[in-house]
Structure 1
Amino acid sequence: MATDVVELILADHRRFEELFRALRDRTSDRGALLGELSALLVAHAEAEESEVYPALRRFKKVDDDEIDHGAEEHAEGHQALLSLLEVRDTASQEWEDKLEDLVKALSHHVDEEERTILNDARDTVPDQRRAELGKAFTKARGDRLNADCGSITHVRTLVNTP
């Protein structure tokens, strides 16, 4: 199992993409898939913000503005996620529209984060430190998943906290 924080984050990004493809399939169990996506997305963002982003600020070649922007995009993603979670009918056009809003927001964030923060981290942060960050990220993400962080109640709290 990978311990490099960059590889772990990239693996989550690929899982988001898989879940989006499955969520677009009208024959899938959209409710269950959305529950998985919500939990993973929130746990991932919270683990990045608590463990990874603060540590990366210490490296000169990792742009602090990009880290701040990444956190802002997490907040935008949480808002789009909440909008989707609030739609009850997974077969409705409203649900489809909200899903596409979430896909657009998250795809934009993933692309930017991979091109800037993660590439800089791969080039700048020593292997051992990336492994340490990977362990901290994995633990924080697991703790958040165990705390039911993807529940609509928790997502509402994230969105409504200034």
Structure 2
Amino acid sequence: MSADRIGSRDVVELILADHRRFEDLFRELRSSEGDRRQALADLSALLVAHAEAEEAEVYPVLRRKAQVDDEEVEHGAEEHAEGHRALLALWEAGEPGTEDWDGKLEELSESITHHLDEEERTILNDARDTVGDAQREELGDAFSRARQVKLDADCGRPEYVRSLVASDNH
């Protein structure tokens, strides 16, 4: 979701808007009425673009802020890698609605929900408290640009997710 769609350039608000979109997409993935393959493609692209933009543009700046816990930032990056592994497992699980697919969907959902909860309680609250409005807007602009570059590069394809998992395992 771009800054103009949510009416804010604040990086915290932009990240939270993505988090709510993840939750919507998980609901779509659980519903037998929708296009689950399209919902998976949408979720995959947004998850990957979001994580890579956070790690490239947001986490390095927050890490330099003394009041933002470096361990929490590092843990957030580790949880992105865990999410990539669970996402790849879902891509590889076969047809939507099968027992294996449903199981992999729940593993991905649990991994992402855990990460969102922790990130919102720690990193994002710390950023609200320690990063000024102007810098949060600068970070929001950088996050939005990096995220869009990844989305334009079709970062959600299974092959790209597989390459991320392979690089995370090295």
**AA paired with 1:124?**
T
* Structure 2 residue corresponding to 1:72, chosen from 56, 75, 78: 78
Structure-2 separation of matches of 1:58 and 1:131: 17
2:4 corresponds in structure 1 to: none
TM superposition score normalised by structure 1: 0.99
| Count of residues in correspondence between the two structures | 162
Query: CA-to-partner distance for each residue in 1:20-44, whole Å, 9 max, x for gaps?
Result: 0111101210000000000000000
* Structure 1 residue corresponding to 2:11, chosen from 5, 10, 16: 5
**AA paired with 2:103?**
D
User: 5 Å matches for 1:87-106?
Assistant: 87-106=93-112
Structure 1, gaps ≥5 residues long? none
Structure-2 separation of matches of 1:127 and 1:86: 42
Runs of 4+ aligned structure 1 residues displaced above 6 Å come to none
TM superposition score normalised by structure 2: 0.94
Quote the offset at 1:15 in angstroms.
0.2
2:138 corresponds in structure 1 to: 132
* Structure 1 residue corresponding to 2:151, chosen from 126, 145, 152: 145
Structure-2 separation of matches of 1:85 and 1:138: 26
**AA paired with 2:140?**
G
Structure 2, gaps ≥5 residues long? 1-6
Structure-2 separation of matches of 1:65 and 1:118: 14
Query: CA-to-partner distance for each residue in 1:1-54, whole Å, 9 max, x for gaps?
Result: 210000000000000000001111012100000000000000000000000000
Q: SS at the partner of 1:2?
A: coil
Alignment of 1:116 with 2:132, yes or no, is: no
Across the aligned residues of Structure 1 and Structure 2, the Cα RMSD in angstroms comes to 0.5
Quote the offset at 1:88 in angstroms.
2.1
Structure-2 separation of matches of 1:89 and 1:8: 32
Q: SS at the partner of 1:148?
A: coil
Structure-1 separation of matches of 2:72 and 2:145: 24
2:68 corresponds in structure 1 to: 62
Q: Which moved more, 1:113-122 or 1:21-30?
A: 21-30
Query: CA-to-partner distance for each residue in 1:35-79, whole Å, 9 max, x for gaps?
Result: 000000000000000000001011111000000000000000000
